[in-house]
Amino acid sequence: MQREAIQKILALGIPKQRDEAWTFFPVSKLRLLATQLQTLEIPATTTPLTPSAKTSVPSPFSLDLANETDIAALLPIAFGAKTLSKMIAKNAVEQGILKPRDENAHTVFEIGQGAKVSLELLENISDRDFASERLDIFVGKDAELELFSAEKGHEGAIRFRHFEIHLAEGSTVRVLDLNETSATMRLSGVVKLEGENSHFEYRSLNLNKGMASTHVHLRIEHKAPHCTSSQFVRNLLGDSAYASYDGAVIVGTHCTGTLSSQLVNTILISEDAKISVKPVLKIYHDDVECTHGNTCGTLDAESIYYLQSRGISFTDAHRILMRAFAEEVLLAHPIATGRERLQKILQESLNGLSKN
Amino acid sequence: MLSIQNLKASLNDGTQILKGINLEVKPGEIHAIMGLNGSGKSTLSKVISGHPAYHVDGGSVFLNGKDLLSMDVSARANEGFFISMQYPIEIPGVPNVEFLRMAMDSQRAYRKEPKISDEEFKTRLNSSMELLEMDERYRERGLNDGFSGGEKKRNEILQMAMLEPRISFLDETDSGLDIDALRIVANGINHIMDSSRAVILVTHYQRLLDYVKPHFVHVLHRGKIVLSGGPELALKLEELGYDWITEEA
């Protein structure tokens, strides 16, 4: 697959600002990537794009690299990531962690019918400036998957994570993503609600500081009737941090009873912080309910005054309000595993942000 | 206790609101401030508490000899000044009980006292909630989050009961209260009041003053106290309105 991935990237070219999927990303930082790609040795032989014993991708699922348009989805494979494949048995109940083996990683999960899985994605702690990761997840009928991750990239680092999730009938996937970073990060994903009554939920909290630059590019495709999806994102941006959210919901022609929502709330703690939000709705059916909203502002001066009027210091008032704003992302999420850990990270992060 | 001398203040856009307020409040006293809408009553409370929307143009405010105007908002509160807001704001995500405890611990830290113990906090909260006949659900809810107008006012008095300020400035605490809630809130104020504390009430109606008996009543008009008297002044205002005062002023 590596050969195909490299060839596809070279065919697509390094993204430019005018490319819709990369509008908000600081593409100048991809120069390093271009250099690294040129040094890659392209394997002489071609491995098939469709799964086989050689690629370890579980049959009957396939990775459609030939039609891939986002190079972030191709990067780990192009850089030679070995595919880790994991199958969860039917009706199994499992909790686990997934740790990238290298700075470039590719993982394929097949979750069996009725299984319940909670998975923490550990961050790629490679001290190299560049790291990429791809996850392909196939969720069986009536199965449930919880994914959560807490990322802390160092300043100067560039991190890519791409996921592609396929949901069968009656299945549920919940993703909770906490980023406390000074790095440049791009999370891209394609979610395919392929079975009737499937449900996808994405929650994200970005606590960015320094020169952090985090970007989400998410495509949720409703491909069957009575599916639901929600996106709930909160950003607390300090210093010269920048965040963008480009979230699309695409509802197919026969997707009766679709429910989808997208809400992005941002608080700019510093005057130099920036946010860009782009909601996209492509709806090809009448009987649907799709909402989107976006707010941006600073911490509410009246709230700070109220807390101070009871004796709470200005710094603590800031911290209390930031925590209240941030915690809603975590509290409303049913993932119990790791919540304490996430809250600890949150507290430490807020202490760092409130000093600014 | 509280000494306000020739206090002048403006909105940050330059609109002058307070044009020379003089007021002396001693321990054990209850003062009522009445006046037409827009006369500066709420502004007075906010300026003393340090609201950032206002600019002090002149004058002084001393609490027990300490210059409040030189302090930030939290220090004024920690010195014992409490303001009950006319429109308490909602802060979802900050649990009421957690907020109360943080406020109490902040004030204790300011006085260099140890944090309140679990037992003492629980005992005081239980008795204050009982005094104000507050619903148990209060404990679980966010700060004023989804509260009715009356519940918010009751919550303000609960905070007052827990924080035990030296002087409380209650800005239209009676607005939005039904008859029973008014009685309960008034009982709460009377319960907290003692010879070492003072209360300034802003109200438009005699009904609150039937429960909380003021020693002095002041009329604020166009940013100045234009008339002061005893409790009988409130009764006269209830009967005659403000025309006779504004004409004289």
pLDDT string in tens for chain B (249-residue length): 999 999 999 998 989 999 999 999 999 999 999 998 889 999 999 999 999 999 999 999 999 999 999 999 999 999 999 999 999 999 988 889 999 999 999 999 999 999 999 999 999 999 999 988 888 888 888 899 888 888 898 999 999 999 999 999 999 988 888 888 888 888 889 988 999 999 999 988 888 888 888 999 999 999 999 999 999 998 888 888 888 887 766
pLDDT digits (tens, 9 = 90+) for A246-292: 999 999 999 999 999 999 999 999 999 999 999 999 999 999 999 99
Span A180-204, mean pLDDT? Answer: 93
Q: What is the SS3 string spanning B23-42?
A: EEECCCCEEEEECCCCCCHH
pLDDT at A354: 55
The dihedral through the CA atoms of A332, A333, A338, A342 has a sign that is: negative
List strand residue ranges (DSSP E) for B26-90, in order. 30-34, 54-63, 66-67, 81-84
Q: Are B200 and B27 in contact (CB under 8 A)?
A: no
Q: Are A324 and B144 in contact (CB under 8 A)?
A: no
Q: What is the distance between the alpha carbons of residues B30 and A172, in angstroms, rounded to a whole number?
A: 61
pLDDT at A262: 97
φ/ψ bin of B162: left (φ > 0), alpha (ψ from -120 to 50), beta (otherwise)? alpha
List residues of chain B with CB under 8 Å from any CB of chain A: 49-52, 72-74, 76-78, 82-83, 85, 88-89, 91-94, 99, 102-103, 106-107, 110, 142, 159, 163
User: Does the beta-carbon distance from B107 to A311 stay under 8 Å?
Assistant: yes
Which of A10-14, A293-297, B226-230 is predicted least confidently?
A10-14
The pLDDT of residue A355 is above 50: no
Q: Are A308 and A314 in contact (CB under 8 A)?
A: yes
In the predicted model, what is the mean pLDDT of chain B?
91
Span A46-62, mean pLDDT? Answer: 46
pLDDT at A338: 62
A277 φ/ψ angles, rounded to the nearest 5 degrees? -130, 135
The pLDDT of residue A48 is above 50: no
- Could you tell me which residues come within 8 angstroms of residue B69 by beta carbon, excluding any fewer than 6 positions away? B50, B56, B60, B61
A250 part of contact set with chain B, CB < 8 Å: no
pLDDT at B90: 92
pLDDT at A53: 35
Q: Tell me: cis bond preceding A225? Omega within 30 of 0 counts.
A: no
Q: What is the distance between the alpha carbons of residues B246 and B203, in angstroms, rounded to a whole number?
A: 18
What is the CB-side half-sphere exposure of residue B174 using CA atoms within 13 A? 21
What is the CB-side half-sphere exposure of residue B6 using CA atoms within 13 A? 3
Chain B residues with beta carbon closer than 8 angstroms to that of A312: 74, 102-103, 106
Buried b (16+ CB within 10 A) or exposed e, B111-145: eeeeebeeeebeebbeebbebbebeeebeebbbbe
pLDDT at B100: 94
pLDDT at A266: 97
CA angle in degrees (0–180, nearest 5) for B223-B226-B229 = 130
Give the bridge partners for A289, in sequence order: A259
Pairing mode of beta strands B66-67, B81-84 = unpaired
User: Does the beta-carbon distance from B106 to A312 stay under 8 Å?
Assistant: yes
Give me A5's structure tokens.
């991935």
Mutation test of the interface with chain A: which of B42, B46, B73, choosing the one with the most A Cβ atoms within 10 A? B73
CB burial of residue B247 (10 Å; 0-12, 13-18, 19+)? exposed
pLDDT digits (tens, 9 = 90+) for B102-123: 999 999 999 999 999 999 999 9
Please report the number of interchain residue pairs, chain A to chain B, with beta-carbon separation below 8 angstroms: 73
pLDDT digits (tens, 9 = 90+) for A78-112: 888 888 888 999 999 998 888 877 788 999 999 99
ipTM more than 0.85?
Answer: yes
pLDDT at A52: 38
Nearest to A130 by CA among A79, A177, A83: A79
**pLDDT-derived band at A113, boundaries 50, 70, 90:** very high
User: Does the beta-carbon distance from B74 to A323 stay under 8 Å?
Assistant: no
CA distance A348 to chain B (A): 18
A332 part of contact set with chain B, CB < 8 Å: no
User: Does the beta-carbon distance from B93 to A313 stay under 8 Å?
Assistant: no
pLDDT at A55: 41
The pLDDT of residue A75 is above 50: yes
A327 part of contact set with chain B, CB < 8 Å: yes
pLDDT digits (tens, 9 = 90+) for A204-255: 999 888 888 999 999 999 999 999 999 999 999 999 999 999 999 999 999 9
Q: Are A257 and A228 in contact (CB under 8 A)?
A: no
Q: Nearest-CA residue of chain A relative to B104? A: A311
User: Does the beta-carbon distance from A311 to B106 stay under 8 Å?
Assistant: yes
User: Does the beta-carbon distance from B93 to A312 stay under 8 Å?
Assistant: no
pLDDT at B122: 94
pLDDT at A314: 94
> What CATH architecture applies to the domain B2-248?
3-Layer(aba) Sandwich (3.40)
Buried b (16+ CB within 10 A) or exposed e, B156-194: bbbbbbbbbbbbbbbbbbbbbbeeebbebbbbbbeebbe
User: Does the beta-carbon distance from A309 to B73 stay under 8 Å?
Assistant: yes
The pLDDT of residue A64 is above 80: no
pLDDT at A332: 62
pLDDT at A50: 43
* Integer CA distances (angstroms), B31 to A191, B173, B207, B212, B249, in order: 65, 14, 15, 10, 21
Enumerate residues 287 to 316 of chain A having a beta carbon within 8 A of any beta carbon in chain B.
300-303, 305-314, 316
**pLDDT-derived band at A126, boundaries 50, 70, 90:** low
* H or E, element range at B192: helix B179-192
The pLDDT of residue A189 is above 60: yes
Nearest to B53 by CA among B8, B89, B10: B10
Buried b (16+ CB within 10 A) or exposed e, A174-188: bbbbbbbbbbbbbbb
The dihedral through the CA atoms of B171, B177, B179, B185 has a sign that is: negative
Which letter does DSSP use for residue B215 in this model? Answer: S
Q: Nearest-CA residue of chain B relative to A321? A: B94
CB burial of residue B150 (10 Å; 0-12, 13-18, 19+)? middle
φ/ψ bin of A13: left (φ > 0), alpha (ψ from -120 to 50), beta (otherwise)? left
pLDDT above 90: percentage of residues in chain B:
64
Domain boundaries, chain B: 2-248
CB burial of residue A153 (10 Å; 0-12, 13-18, 19+)? buried
In the predicted model, what is the mean pLDDT of chain A?
86
